[in-house]
Structure 1
């Protein structure tokens, strides 16, 4: 057991310095204008800094998720072909992933990379609350300030389970736990409902996504009641960042054959129409305009049918001569 603690300490020690350095930077930025709340705002600044640094990983995650979706029809074919041989099926599936340069674990990279930072922040706040001792660049005096820092009249080092009957702590912690749980669920739901083609909603990858959809929020809901308010702020802010970032990517660069792709095509068509530009197909090629039909000559007007009496009145058929005209040859 001590061996595992030593390994954990070896891994987390550099993160204590990194997390505390960023936290102290943002605390210094907000302290002149926010006072005690500057520590809570510093945690939010820490979250945004970490997530901004992880943008390349997020892009890699999106590309990997898209490749996984596009490969689902091929995976289904392999399942039909090697369904009786699980070992061969696993080998052929991994071969398919290697050939397409797709990493099935890349979709979890942001979560995996983020967890050590989450744990480092949790330990910083936990040690400050319990012992008033700092870690990394955080001095003991600053740790005590962090312990006593408040937001909305509640200490950010408090948690739902350590509220000791303080209803303000319990209410704020409950609100943040619910917010953390709901945003976790909506983030996964957004990806599945908007950016996954119909044929990718079944199979192993879809099962993995459904598992994350329901299990992750449940884990955070159960474990969240023991998290300090500051840690809940971190994770809720991180989820909101993920939702916004994911919304932007799905809206502007959706996976093919998805609801988001169809919505983007419709928006692009309306935009080109407003600008007076020609329509383009799904490949981006300009559609050929239909040639106008040649003008047809106007139909020849047919003479109106007249009755016998009308013809006589009009001077036809041996009727009376028209007034002022001789009825026969003039005498010389």
Structure 2
């Protein structure tokens, strides 16, 4: 492994030495700030170079999210035939131009630099020259302290080794624990940010379950492996996690996944600023939906008492009339006409009937 990665040892050590020379103009060349900022600058330089791969990772992740329903259908259709299932999956990847490994490209590309930095710092901790770091630079890096902890020590190192570098075991463990917690917390926030804001919530897929599981697995992994990392490697990994968190926040805000919460928030911001014009088809669809909703509204059912009061036929409240036939003509009289004082309603009606003249038959005139 050392033989394969030896060129990278020289590359990583050379970059660190160049940054160290620059920061030595502002800080003591043997201080932890000069060496610590050199490691941070190395991370920034590597991550800038990995931006194109990060963009590919975003596209690949979105493509994988869009393909999840089709992938699930293939798994259900060929659940008893693993070979046919794999063939159909590969066919789907080929048709859509999706590479499942694209989402891992930044991590894969970054891992050789991480291993090389770990080996360089490990050589420094053991007092061995590596790459372009000579004996003079080796002594300077070994005794460089950041917040009281040498860059080359680990959480699990013995008190004797720590004291030989001019530090105490308590300082080393306090600094390493704080860095491990920050490293795990930044990883958790990054993954949670991805799950809660940049995932299409309208589609429930196994991919979302996997991401949710990784949200808890990755911080635990960092906490377990972190106790075996030198302080310099913890600085490297904490810096790259913070960079990833900020980079992802920028991408989610500017170019979120369609259908996600971040996408809706971005549309609302653009609409509030007047920079987003709604699609005419979308407006028409909304109007049609509102019209259909209004048409579905039924009148409220009334009780019998209310129907008798408010549901009376037209003309309610006016005196009802009664038609009496006479020679084919109808005379309208009020039905609730009051009789004269002292008389009864029946006598009043009979008096009215007596007062009416009967039509005579034409033959009776003779």
Aligned match of 1:167: 170
Q: Do residues 183 (structure 1) and 186 (structure 2) align?
A: yes
For 2:280 and 2:197, the matched residues in 1 are separated by: 18
Would the aligned equivalents of 1:159 and 1:173 in 2 still touch at CA under 8 Å? yes
Aligned match for 2:128, one of 130, 133, 139: 133
Partner of 2:36: 40
RMSD of the alignment, in Å? Answer: 2.2
For 1:85, the equivalent position in structure 2 comes to 81
Residues 198-256 of structure 1: CA distance to partner in whole angstroms, max 9, x if unpaired? 255422x3344234322222221111011111100000000000011111111111111
Cα distance per residue 1:9-66 (max 9 Å; x no partner): 2321111111111111111111121221200110011111111111011001001001
Q: Say whether the 8 Å CA contact 1:129–1:144 is kept in structure 2.
A: no
Deviation at 1:282, TM superposition (A): 10
Separation in 2 of the partners of 1:180 and 1:18? Answer: 25
- TM-score, normalization by structure 1: 0.77
Q: Distance in 2 between matches of 1:250 and 1:244?
A: 10
Question: Is this contact kept in 2: 1:156–1:229, CA < 8 A?
Answer: yes
In the TM superposition, what whole-angstrom CA distance separates every residue of 1:253-289 from its partner, at most 9, and x where no partner exists? 11111111111111110111xxxx6732399x9999x
The equivalent of 1:68 in structure 2 is 64
* Within-5 A mapping of 1:115-126: 115-126=111-122
The superposition leaves residues 68-89 of structure 1 with CA deviations (integer Å, 9 ceiling, x where unpaired) of 1111121122223222322222
Q: For 1:10 and 1:200, how far apart are their aligned partners in 2? A: 48
Query: Paired residue for 2:149, among 137, 154, 162?
Result: 154
CA distance in 1, matches of 2:253, 2:109: 25
Which secondary structure does the structure 1 equivalent of 2:133 belong to? coil
- The answer to whether the 8 A contact 2:69-2:205 is kept is no
In the alignment, the residues of structure 2 paired with residue 198 and residue 10 of structure 1 have an alpha-carbon distance, to the nearest angstrom, of 48
- Which structure has the larger Rg? 2
- Please list every run of 5 or more consecutive structure 1 residues that lacks an aligned counterpart in the other structure: 1-7, 291-332
Which among 221, 240, 243 is matched to residue 242 of structure 2? 240
Higher relative CO (CA 8 A, sep ≥ 6), structure 1 or 2?
Answer: 1
Paired residues, number = 275
Question: Cα offset for 1:104?
Answer: 0.9
Q: Does 1:103 align with 2:99?
A: yes
Unpaired segments ≥5 residues, structure 2: 160-167, 288-366
Q: Is the 8 A contact 1:278 1:286 kept in 2?
A: no
What is the alpha-carbon distance in structure 2 between the residues aligned to residue 183 and residue 282 of structure 1? 43
Query: Could you tell me which of 255, 260, 263 is aligned with 1:261?
Result: 263
* Distance change in 2, residues 1:256/1:49 (3 Å): same
The residue aligned with 1:26 is 19
Equivalent position of 2:277 in the other structure: 279
User: 2 CA distance for matches of 1:31 and 1:286?
Assistant: 62
Change in Cα spacing, 1:101 to 1:158, as seen in structure 2 (3 Å) is same
User: How has the CA–CA distance of structure 1 residues 173 and 14 changed in structure 2, closer, same or farther, with 3 Å as cutoff?
Assistant: same
**Residues 1:15 and 2:13 aligned together:** no
Q: Any conservation in 2 of the 1:159–1:226 contact (CA below 8 Å)?
A: yes
* Deviation digits for residues 302-323 of structure 1 (CA, Å, limit 9, x no counterpart): xxxxxxxxxxxxxxxxxxxxxx
Partners of 2:216 and 2:122 in 1: CA distance: 28
